[in-house]
Amino acid sequence: MGHGILVCAAVVAALIAWAAIARALAPKGNNTQEHFDVLMVLGSPADADGNPTPIELARVTEAVNEYERGVAPRMIITGGSAHNRFVEADVMARVAEAQGIPAGAIVEERTALNTMENTCDSLRIMRSHGWDSAEVISSASHLPRAGLILSRLPLKWRTHAAPGLEPEGPWTNGAMTAMEILKTVRYLVWARQVDKCEVQ
């Protein structure tokens, strides 16, 4: 039994190391352009009452900043009701409009339940409009995994980190990074082989 436990521990350690290396080497884009067709804002759950969380506020606020800098003339806000009954895109779109973004410049993708679906479903929307480039905005800890996913899609892209609105303690940062490493393990071992993005 002791040998089996050691083998399992070694496998887990190897997977975590693989994910950490993959995250460190994850691409941040595939072009050098400064202007894009869209800002793709990746979703995050609202709180239990349907109010925007600090993570959502940070992502939307940075998207608004990029819009005002002229990086892109519109944004796709993507996220369904993945973790509670509130549609992430709805909550975040309201924040964007409250910060001055015209409703006509916001496209909501309201069904995605994970990062693969965020990017793939947004790409379908882009294709339907003839858009082919995106700056993808999310939290810094999320972007390495998003970059691994985006690198497999037929899209011109770069990632852009949304800084937190308040300084985060080391425990918060550590917990978010640990969760992302575990999600990266799942992506490398399982999701990238099973979850395919088929875009016409």
Q: What is the pTM (predicted TM-score) of this model?
A: 0.93
Q: What span, in angstroms and rounded, lies between the C-alpha atoms of 169 and 187?
A: 27
Which runs of E-coded beta strand occur in the chain? Answer: 38-42, 75-78, 106-109, 133-139, 156-162
Q: What span, in angstroms and rounded, lies between the C-alpha atoms of 76 and 50?
A: 20
* pLDDT tens digits, 66-122: 999 999 999 999 999 988 999 999 999 999 999 999 999 999 999 999 999 999 999
Query: Which CATH fold topology does 25-194 show?
Result: Rossmann fold (3.40.50)
Residue 27: DSSP 8-state: -
Q: What span, in angstroms and rounded, lies between the C-alpha atoms of 106 and 94?
A: 10
Contacts of 49 (CB under 8 A, 6+ apart): none
Per domain, the residue ranges of the chain are: 25-194
* pLDDT tens digits, 123-171: 999 999 999 999 999 999 999 999 999 999 999 999 999 998 776 666 6
